[in-house]
Amino acid sequence: MTPPTTSSAPSSLVPLAFGDLQGCRQPFQQLLAKAAPPAGTPLWFAGDLINRGAESLATLRDVIALGERAVPVLGNHDLHLLSVSAGIRTSKKGDTIDDILAAPDAADLIEWVRHRPLAHFDNGMLMVHAGVLPQWDATLTLELADELQRALRAPSWKETLAGLYGNAPNRWKPGLKGIERLRVTCSALTRMRFCTADGTMDFSSSGTLASAPPGCVPWFEVPSRKTADVTVVFGHWAALGLLLRDNLIGLDSGCVWGEKLSAVRLAQNPAERTLTQVDCDSCGVPRGGN
């Protein structure tokens, strides 16, 4: 059998995927050293590289310095950084993005963030920050993510970004157009945790499975979810903790809340996936939502 060709440089090395760094630079460096991936290994990041942790600027610089090896997707905190920089939102209590905004090269840093993708697919693995709606297969997910990332790279990106906030519409329809289509896409890819069986998103809980809103399940538990045939890699849900199933890898194990930072080697064969973790004692702030 001929293996499928991919466009992903630099090699056929198995990627190493990291959970939400959220500005936790020391744990990131410790985990990278501990996992010790072979030179050139692609390093995937499930989004929220920055914010809430102690060293947002230094963490962002570390990831940028990895060059093409770094494969991040955008999370809600990354988009928040863009929004604050653009004057669309104000900084919130607990934010730790001021060092980025005050950096002499802030404009370049913001440009780098703004040009990151919202979904990444390679070798049967689909990575997003938060989740995918049950009606979306991997192909549609990538198409919708591409629509959104192109809008965020366009000259009118600030207008687009300003229009992405809000909980409605909270359900996908193929006929959705314009900013509502982009908003549903953004909500699912960067914010969703719970939804109903028909894919109606509910943003009222960021807690554990026991805190599911009435009638809701975690997005990945919806029966007949159309991405069940690929392995979905995601972050965002610290209260869920690390989740390792054959076709599902939830990587946010709450580093910024003083728990752990996780990295998983994304082997095709689930039995060959390896987990590496480090403790995160002093990076973040007291638990209070994410």
Binding site for Mn ion (CB under 5 A): 48, 75-76, 236
Q: Using an 8 Å Cβ cutoff, are 179 and 185 in contact?
A: no
The minimum distance between CB 236 and Mn ion, in angstroms, equals 4
Q: Which is nearer to Mn ion, 48 or 259 (CB)?
A: 48
CB 255 → Mn ion: shortest distance, Å? Answer: 12
Least gap, CB of 76 to Mn ion (angstroms): 4
Q: Closest CB to Mn ion among 14 and 170? A: 170
The distance of closest approach from Cβ of residue 221 to Mn ion in the complex, given in angstroms and rounded to an integer, is: 19
Q: How far is the CB of 77 from Mn ion (least distance, A)?
A: 6
The CA distance from 1 to 142, in Å, is 26
Enumerate residues 6+ apart whose C-beta is below 8 A from 169.
Answer: 176, 180, 183, 184
- CA torsion sign for 36, 233, 48, 213 is negative
Q: Least distance (Å) from Mn ion to the CB of residue 177?
A: 27
Residues 6+ apart with CB under 8 A from 262: 18, 19, 31, 242, 251, 252, 253, 275, 276, 277
Helices (H) and strands (E) in the chain, counts: 8, 13
Of 14 and 257, CB closest to Mn ion:
257
Whole-number minimum distance, CB 111 to Mn ion, in Å?
21
Write out the DSSP string of 104-147. TTHHHHHHHHHTS-S-EEETTEEE-SS---TT--HHHHHHHHHH
Name the residue with the smallest CB distance to Mn ion: 236
The first and second tokens of residue 98, run together, are 């001021």
Alpha carbons within 13 angstroms on the beta-carbon side of residue 176 total 16
Would you tell me how many other CB atoms lie within 10 Å of the CB of residue 211? 13
Assess whether the previous peptide bond of 169 is cis (omega < 30° from 0). yes
Nearer to Mn ion, 6 or 211 (CB): 211
- In sequence order, what E strands does the chain have? 16-18, 43-45, 70-72, 120-122, 125-127, 194-195, 201-202, 217-218, 231-234, 243-245, 248-250, 260-265, 275-279
Neighbours of 223 (CB within 10 A): 8
Nearer to Mn ion, 14 or 78 (CB): 78
Which lies closer to Mn ion via its Cβ, residue 19 or residue 199? Answer: 19
Minimum distance, C-beta of residue 84 to Mn ion, in the bound complex (Å): 15
The first and second tokens of residue 262, run together, are 């996780």
